[in-house]
């Protein structure tokens, strides 16, 4: 399988102009703008390992955390546009445009998309002794008690915060929001019964749900997840419009030649079809997206989510600067 994938990428190289045929010339750096050990870091390392086999050069993952992912992103923006520096970012790149009113770069013009890497859905969860038994009962309780209920999220701009904003918008009721520094502390607060509700990636929530350390009400996907097959979708629970996925995308600096971008995109798509990668992504409740591993697909995804989240963030009036 890998031999066939490598042959297809080699054939692709031969079809490009001379300036791209010797790419990559040296090891590639993949910037992850978050700390090591989290879901984005895991996605990056699995993807880098598989792409490096196809490209014939090692891909070194470099974690540059800070300012909600904007510090590492800015480093990628300012890197040499020769294809040897990549950025792997998630949904937060789209929301940063609104959350940071003085953002030092524009992701739609200062970065060039390579392709969508993966999708990971979320789960609406609660402390284990929360009274509501179903998503419908939970929605009714939120509508009734509103700010008497505490909703924990992993920090400003985190997907968990966006999920909470969307939930409150759909139910037209405000809860008391409690920010934490990361998903781990949120889960600890829920299992310790210090807060009522949260919305975390299925990747990290599934073990706690399976051990009954937290109670799961719904997943934010269009269909049920293999990692939590007994948990209904939000729509099944009577709450529509609550679909949200934490997608990851791969980018390069804006002036990177299109021929090099096409080589990277082709390698990404082939890597995402590798059975080993598919299995490793499944282990963290993440779906690879080989059919969307194109510049056009990522550009459309980024633009769509910038427009989707801007009004919700502005309505909340919570900014990072």
How sure is the predictor about 321, in pLDDT bands with cuts at 50, 70 and 90?
A: confident
Give the residue extent of every domain in the chain. Answer: 2-120+246-316, 122-219
Domains 2-120+246-316 and 122-219 share a fold: yes
β-bridge pairing 176-179 and 150-153: parallel
Cα separation, 105 vs 136, whole angstroms: 42
Helices 183-191/202-210 angle, 10° precision? 20
Q: CATH topology for 2-120+246-316? A: D-Maltodextrin-Binding Protein; domain 2 (3.40.190)
β-bridge pairing 215-219 and 122-126: antiparallel
pTM of the model: 0.87
Overall size of the chain counted in residues: 321
54-85 pLDDT tens trace: 999 999 999 999 888 999 999 999 999 999 99
In three-state secondary structure terms, 30 is: strand
253-275 pLDDT tens trace: 999 999 999 999 999 999 999 99
What average pLDDT does the segment 92-116 reach? 96
For position 17, what pLDDT does the model report?
A: 57
Residue 43 has pLDDT above 90, yes or no: yes
Instruction: Give domain 122-219's CATH superfamily.
Output: Periplasmic binding protein-like II (3.40.190.10)
């Amino acid at each position: 399988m890998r031999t066939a994938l490598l042959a297809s990428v080699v054939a692709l190289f031969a079809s490009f102009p001379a300036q791209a045929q010797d790419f990559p010339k040296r090891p590639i750096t993949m910037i992850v703008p978050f700390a090591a050990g989290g879901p984005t870091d895991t996605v990056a390392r699995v993807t880098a390992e598989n792409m490096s086999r196809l490209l014939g050069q090692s891909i070194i993952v470099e974690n540059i955390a800070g300012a909600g992912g904007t510090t590492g992103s800015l480093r990628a923006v300012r890197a040499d546009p020769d294809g040897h520096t990549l950025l792997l970012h998630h949904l937060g790149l789209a929301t940063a445009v609104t959350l940071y009113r003085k953002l030092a770069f524009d992701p739609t013009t200062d970065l060039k998309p390579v392709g969508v890497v993966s999708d990971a859905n979320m789960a609406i969860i609660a402390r284990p002794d929360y009274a509501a038994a179903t998503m419908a009962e939970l929605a009714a309780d939120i509508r009734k008690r509103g700010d008497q209920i505490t909703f924990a999220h992993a920090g400003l701009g985190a997907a968990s915060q966006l999920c909470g904003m969307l939930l409150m918008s759909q139910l037209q009721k405000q809860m008391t929001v409690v920010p934490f520094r990361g998903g781990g502390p949120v889960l600890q607060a829920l299992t310790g019964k210090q807060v009522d509700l949260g919305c975390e990636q299925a990747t990290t929530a599934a073990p706690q749900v399976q051990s009954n350390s937290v109670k799961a009400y719904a997943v934010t996907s269009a269909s049920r997840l293999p990692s939590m097959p007994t948990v209904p979708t939000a729509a099944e629970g009577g709450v529509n419009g609550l679909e949200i996925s934490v997608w990851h995308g791969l980018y390069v600096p804006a002036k990177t030649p299109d021929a090099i971008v096409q080589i990277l995109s082709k390698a990404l798509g082939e890597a995402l079809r590798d059975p080993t990668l598919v299995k490793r992504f499944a282990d963290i409740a993440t779906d690879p997206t080989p059919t969307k591993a194109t510049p056009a697909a990522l550009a459309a995804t980024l633009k769509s989510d910038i427009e989707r989240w801007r009004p919700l963030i502005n309505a909340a009036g919570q900014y990072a600067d």
